[in-house]
Amino acid sequence: MNLLLEGLSAACLLAGSFLCITGGVGLLRLPDFFSRVHAAGVTETLAAPLLLTGLMLQMDWSLDLLKVLLIMLFLLATNPTASHAMAKAALHGGQGPNDEKAEEDKGSIS
Amino acid sequence: MRDLFAVAMMFGIYSLLTAALFMDLDAADVAFTEAAVGAGVTTILLLSSLRLTGRWERRPKHSPLLPLLVVGVTGAALVYGTLDMPHLGDPQAPVHQHVAPHYIENAPQEMGIPNIVTAVLASYRGFDTLGETLVIFTAGLSVFLLLGSRAGGRPRPGKTAIGEQPVLRLVVKVLIPFILLFALYVQLHGEYGAGGGFQAGVIFATGMVLYDLVFGEGDARLVVPARWLPRLAAFGILVYGSVGLYALLHGRPFLDYTVLAEDPMVGRHLGILLVELGIGICVFAVVLSIFYALSGRRRQP
Amino acid sequence: MSNVSDLFNYWVVVFLMMAGFYVVIAQGNLIKKLIGLSLFQASVFIFYISLGFVEGGIAPILEEGVSNYANPLPHVLILTAIVVSVATTAVGLALAVRIHEAYGSIEEDDIQTLDLEADDPDEAPSDKPEDSPR
Amino acid sequence: MNLGDHLPLLAIILPLLAAPVCVLIGRAGAAWLIALTSSVLSLAAAAALLQGVVQERTVSYQLGGWAPPWGIELRVDLLGAYVLLIVCAMAAMVMAYARRSVIREVEAALIPAFYAALLLVFAGLAGITVTGDAFNLFVFLEISSLASYALISMGRDRRAVSAAFQYLVMGSIGATFILIGIGFLYLMTGTLNMQDLAQRLPAVSDTRTVRAGFAFLTVGIGLKLALFPLHLWLPNAYAYAPSVVSALLAATATKVAVYALLRFIIDVFGADFSLGDMPLNLLLILLGSLGILVASLVAVYQDNVKRMLAYSSVAQVGYMVLGIGLASAAGVSAAILHLFNHALMKGALFLALGAVAYQMGRVRLKDFAGLGRSMPWTMAAIVVSGLSLIGVPGTAGFISKWYLVLAILEQDLWPLAMLVLVGSILALLYMGRLVEAAYFQHPEKNTVVPREAPLSLLLPLWVLATANLYFGLFTDLNVGIAQQASSQLLEGRP
Amino acid sequence: MLNAAVLAIMVTMALALVRAFMGPTAYDRLLAANLFGTKTVLLIALAGHALDWSGFLDVALLYAMVNFVGTIAVMRFFEYGAGEEEE
């Protein structure tokens, strides 16, 4: 039984960390702000729960398990909202999604 | 790094890393406080004052030679001082021989609560904590003296802070009860794990600040009007002071909690709980009043 | 002379202290001075906590079967000192806002020039009008 | 434990808890009343404490019922009780004086908070004199300086705010240095209680950590003390603060810092370590004399009278530090004596300036023209305390300078004796300018001739002025306690 | 296995820091700071379990909250800053 648990948690952790790194690299490589928001979104909203489930599988039933679940729920609630709010604010901030020209001159001012 | 907003964010990251370092050095309570205060309150206060004083910094004109010299001398004195220090974490260091072992051995018998830090904070060195609460009260008082609670015009009810963010408003509406509940948990959990009056007060205030940020401070001031806050802070301190004075009436030295109940253990429990409550109220009122004073002020060019 | 490599962590703390101290002295912007100040104080706290660290000990929260705890006293001192540091920063920020309103800028050089410009220091019209929003 | 045993605590808890009560009540008149009663009560407690301490040398009060090294202990010896008495006395005088002066200088809505902050400054300073725990001293220091930052910025001139900011930055750096110093000491000894430190330090006193800790502590306290090179924040802070605030700070803040310096140098580190091994006595003598000369010289050229007195405070601190630097029982007792007398002189002078500011609105030298006739009582008080500042025989100032010169001659350091004389002459110069403006110049035509300050301002002013004279003539009480305190301090440990 | 995950998180944090320093627009810095915060929550949770600290989950939960509030605060004040004046 716990072999299955071990395997599952290992898989989750692996997938989580892989997504993490791809998100990070995406954050650096992608040219435009809005594509970076997407990359950051991937890591925050997908890699985080994967890693936390991996962690939960390894822990035995205790108050701590409940707390990790709480953290996961909290992250799931806040991160998408934060990314959404950021994208909306950026849009309001006059930075069109994919007009490259706006990207250059906007970059110089702020 | 001339964009002060970025500096404020970097400072948030710095205090976050300090909190992680405290975790690694087995200081759960301190990491908790540093995270709640350093990354939370300080960053928010910095941002709200940067809003008032402008975001950009000019290149300093004068040469950095003298400061470098002073810093060099102080640094040399510090390094000179560290040469005879015991290594990191070696148990024979004098620090662990003299006063600390008493706390670790006697706290369970005398206090009966697992979190020794709260035991030392509230009872052994309770007078320090009274001083600490007074420092926070003084800060709130000073900001009140400087910026005045009614400054910056009347609150603008209903003005949404971040343009039209329906999604954000909905999620925040769901989250705030959870945050306030978490603050209550931290307040009462002080004796068993990391937490206590001070951290709880900060989390309460952060919850209210979040409400203020998203729904515009007009609504927030309707919930907790700014006029009450100085009095609330004063009430928090008087709760702490009266617990101490109560011991005086019974002829015991100040801040001796054993008078609160027949069995000294129960008395100390009660004393610590009351004291933490006093701190929580005071810190909540002060942090929120400072935030109101800064965020409510109109921008004078 | 204890071998030097073990003292490495103290030197990191000293470097952080000096970085904060340098920012306080060299920078002209008042808000940056405050950030430098709290940086300086934060590194003093790291120094205190590293005093209390015990090899193999755990956080000073009593659990069965564990005898080796970190030293709780520095933690208590630091809880108070963090409060002091935040209080000083908050009052400093409030002062910076008031300075910005009085002088129009928070660069130290501008403030000094504005003060010197006023020919008779006390005659200066700069005397705050009574009705300035307090 | 009857009331008598709680005295050390009562002296500081009263103002500490009176401050929140002032804010809670929120009315100006009531706030002033609370402030006055709590400072008068703590003055009574301090006086009773001095009686108690004179008999049984030291009074110890364990907080929370815990024994010293584990809990915090309030420990009052002769020196502590003596400084506590002068702090409480000056605070009571300033509170009695404050009512009308504050109404004129502070906006009505902020007056309750103003009194609360005044009480906190006083309570913080009183706490420093009473506490026996090093970290507790840091906490009280922080309370008093934080409250004084806001109070200084309440001044009417816009420079008050930038002066307060400078004071905040330098004060916080000083406090952090003290924190580093305490950390080094704690590292090597494992305790924070001052008596415990005193016993455990000799064993480790030759290590570099303790020496570095000693250096940081001295620099930190030096910053708070406005020792000569570190005094840059003081003139602006005292000059632009409201007159009540500069009176309270000038009369007590630097004195308590001198007390802290004495407490750490002699009580905790031991006189032979701090003044013998470490070159501190030379340093103190050098900085003290430099401070006297430079500060007095600068004071002569000041146009704003408050700044002039602020610079003269830096010079007077130089005298005290000179006394300590002599590293002899006579020197330390001269320093303690001067600490007491200087509080009287500066308190009276700043209260008098407050009366002038109350009538004229400003305190530049030009405003003093012809005041001798229009405000006779205030000017007479200024002359009396001015004479005491110069050190004319028959005034308190003379006594402390006399004992200082005796201590110097004991070690036949002739140049220093000359220096004290030059300092007095410089003091004569800048006070002379003031008196000459008041009595021999005529006010410009268009200025309105001010009436005499109201009685509520004059009464405390004259109480202090007569105290200057009283302690000048009847010296046994004053000198007796100072000499006992210094001998108790020094013989505490070889 | 936990250590591998912790390592991956650290790498991502480093990348986020690079973006925070380099980021042309302030929004990029804000994004990087938010990402950094979330990753630290995960780091504390995982490392806490691996090195069995005590009381680390409260800190992680608190930090998730503080990070969220900080991001909202920056957006709120940033909007004011950018909107009204460009020094």
Taking the CB of residue D402, how many other CB atoms lie within 10 A of it? Answer: 17
**Interface residue C18 vs chain D (CB under 8 A):** no
> According to the model, what pLDDT value does residue A4 have?
85
User: Does residue E30 sit at the A interface (CB-CB below 8 Å)?
Assistant: yes
How close, in Å, is residue E59 to chain C by CA atoms?
A: 13
Q: Does A85 contact B174 at a Cβ distance shorter than 8 Å?
A: no
Which residues neighbour B39 within 8 Å (Cβ) at sequence distance 6 or greater?
A: B12, B15, B16, B19, E37, E63, E66, E67, E70
pLDDT-derived band of residue C1, with 50, 70 and 90 as boundaries? Answer: very low
pLDDT at position D280: 78
For tokens 């109480």, name the residue: D463
Task: Read off the amino acid at residue E52.
Answer: D
Which chain D residue's Cα is nearest to C97? D161
Written as one letter, the residue type at D56 is E
Q: Are the beta carbons of C63 and E53 separated by less than 8 Å?
A: no
Q: What average pLDDT does this structure show over C45-49?
A: 87
Residue C34: which of D345, B57, B31 has the closest Cα? B57
- CA-closest candidate to residue D27, choices D108, D105, D82, D103: D108
Distance of CA C110 to the CA centre of its chain: 23
Task: Tell me the count of B-E CB pairs closer than 8 A.
Answer: 134
Q: Residue with structure tokens 């460009």?
A: E86
Chain B hits for E45, CB-CB cut-off 8 Å, are none
Tell me how crowded residue D449 is: count the other CB atoms within 10 A of its CB: 11
Arithmetic mean of pLDDT, C54-66: 72
Give the residues of chain D that fall short of pLDDT 70. Answer: 1-3, 276-277, 445-447, 492-494
Q: Which residues pair with A105 in a beta bridge?
A: none
List chain B domain ranges: 1-55, 113-301
Cβ of D183 and C48 within 8 Å? Answer: yes
Determine contact: C61 vs chain E, CB below 8 A. yes
Tell me how far CA of residue D175 lies from CA of B142, B212, D137, D178, D223, in angstroms: 18, 34, 10, 5, 9
Q: Are D197 and D217 in contact (CB under 8 A)?
A: no
C81 contact residues in D (CB cutoff 8 A): 179
Which band of pLDDT confidence, cut at 50, 70 and 90, is reported for residue C37?
very high
In chain A, what are the domain boundaries? 2-109
- Average pLDDT, rounded, for chain B: 79
- Percent of chain B past pLDDT 70, that is, above it, reads 87
CA distance B66 to B45: 31
**Closest partner residue to D70 among B95, B102, B244, by Cβ?**
B102
Comparing C-alpha atoms, which of B144, C119, C123, C31 is closest to residue D157?
C123
- Express each pLDDT in B8-35 by its tens digit: 888 888 888 888 888 888 788 888 888 8
Contact E/B (≥3 CB pairs under 8 Å): yes
Beta-carbon separation of B99 and D191 below 8 A: yes
- Nearest Cβ partner of B168 from A74, A81, A92? A81
Helix (H) or strand (E) holding D74: strand D73-76
User: For residue B273, what pLDDT band results from cuts at 50, 70 and 90?
Assistant: confident
Neighbours of chain E (3+ CB pairs under 8 A): A, B, C
d(CA B21, CA B31): 8
Q: How many CB pairs under 8 A join C and D?
A: 87
Q: Is the pLDDT of residue B89 over 90?
A: no
A48-97 confidence digits (pLDDT tens): 888 888 888 888 777 788 888 888 888 888 888 888 888 887 777 665 55
**Model's pTM, two decimal places?**
0.90
E50 touching A (Cβ < 8 Å): no
Among the listed residues E52, D72, C59, the one whose alpha carbon sits nearest the alpha carbon of residue B30 = C59
pLDDT in tens, E30-62: 888 888 888 888 888 888 888 777 778 888 888
**Can you give the pLDDT at residue B164?**
60
Q: How many CB pairs under 8 A join A and E?
A: 137
**Amino acid identity, position D284:** L
Nearest CA-CA distance, residue C59 and chain E, Å: 6
| Partner C contacted by E68 (CB < 8 A) | no
Counting every residue written for chain C, the total comes to: 134
The pLDDT of residue B300 is: 57
Domains recognised in chain C with CATH numbers: 4-117 (1.10.287.3510)
Question: How many angstroms separate the CA atoms of D227 and D288, rounded?
Answer: 7
Q: Which of B100-104, B280-284, D124-128, E66-70 is least confident?
A: B100-104
Comparing CA positions, the residue from E73, E31, E65, E86 lying closest to residue B161 is E73
CB E24 within 8 A of CB E12: no
CA distance A25 to A19: 10
Q: Compare all CA atoms of chain E with the CA of B32 and give the residue at the minimum distance.
A: E59
Closest CB to B89: pick one of C38, C55, C88: C55
B214-226 pLDDT, tens digit each: 777 666 677 777 7
Closest CA to E70 of D293, D145, B13: B13
- How far is it, in rounded angstroms, from Cα B47 to Cα B71? 28
Determine the pLDDT at residue D446: 66
Residue E81 near residue B46, CB atoms below 8 Å: no
Side-chain half-sphere of E65: how many Cα atoms within 13 Å?
A: 32
- The angle subtended at Cα B38 by Cα B2 and Cα C29, nearest 5°, is 30
Give the tokens for residue D88.
């409480």
Contact between residue D148 and residue D249 where contact means Cβ atoms under 8 Å apart: yes
D438 and D355 Cβ atoms separated by less than 8 Å: no
Quote the DSSP letter at residue D66: -
Main-chain dihedrals φ then ψ at residue B289, nearest 5 degrees: -70, -35
At B155, is the pLDDT very low, low, confident or very high (cuts 50, 70, 90)?
very low
Backbone angles phi, psi at D62, to 5 degrees: -90, 125
Q: Which of D252, D300, D11, D243 is nearest to D144 (CA)?
A: D252
Residue D278 parent element (H or E)? none
DSSP H or E stretch at residue D59: strand D59-62
Identify the band that residue E79 occupies on the pLDDT scale cut at 50, 70 and 90: low
For residue A89, count CB atoms less than 10 angstroms from its CB and return exposed for 0-12, middle for 13-18, buried for 19 or more: buried
ipTM attached to this prediction = 0.89
- In whole angstroms, give the CA distance from residue A50 to residue A16: 5
Cβ contact E56–B23 (<8 Å): yes
What are the residues whose beta carbons fall under 8 Å from the beta carbon of C41, sequence distance 6 or more? C20, C81, C84, C85, C88, D172, D176, D179
More confident site: B99 or D1 = B99
pLDDT score of C132 more than 50: no
Q: Which amino acid is at D16?
A: L
Considering CB atoms only, which of D70, D200, D204 is closest to B124? D70
Which residue do the tokens 């790498």 mark? E11
Residues of E in contact with C63 (CB under 8 A): 54
**E85 touches C: beta carbon within 8 Å:** no
Q: Which of B3, B168, B189 to mutate to test the interface with A (most CBs of A within 10 A)?
A: B168
Nearest residue to D288 (alpha-carbon basis) of D223, D229, D338, D220: D229
Amino acid at B293: A
Residues 6+ apart with CB under 8 A from D234: D226, D254, D310, D313, D314
Contact B300 C101 (CB under 8 A): yes
Which of A2, A33, A40 is closest to A19 using CA atoms?
Answer: A40
Q: Does the pLDDT value for residue B161 go beyond 90?
A: no
For residue C91, pLDDT beyond 90:
yes
pLDDT surpasses 50 at B66:
yes
Of all residues in chain B, the percent with pLDDT exceeding 90 is 3
**Domains of chain D: which residue ranges?**
279-487
DSSP states of A24-48 as a string?
HHHHHH-SSHHHHHHHHHHIIIIIH
Q: How far is D493 from chain B (nearest CA, A)?
A: 22
A7-53 pLDDT, tens digit per residue, is 888 888 888 888 888 888 888 888 777 788 888 887 778 888 888 88
Band of pLDDT at residue B210, cut at 50, 70 and 90: confident
Is the model's pLDDT at A98 over the cut of 60?
no
- Measured N-to-C along each axis, helices E56-84 and B197-223 cross at an angle, to the nearest 10 degrees, of 40
C59 neighbors B27 (Cβ within 8 angstroms): yes
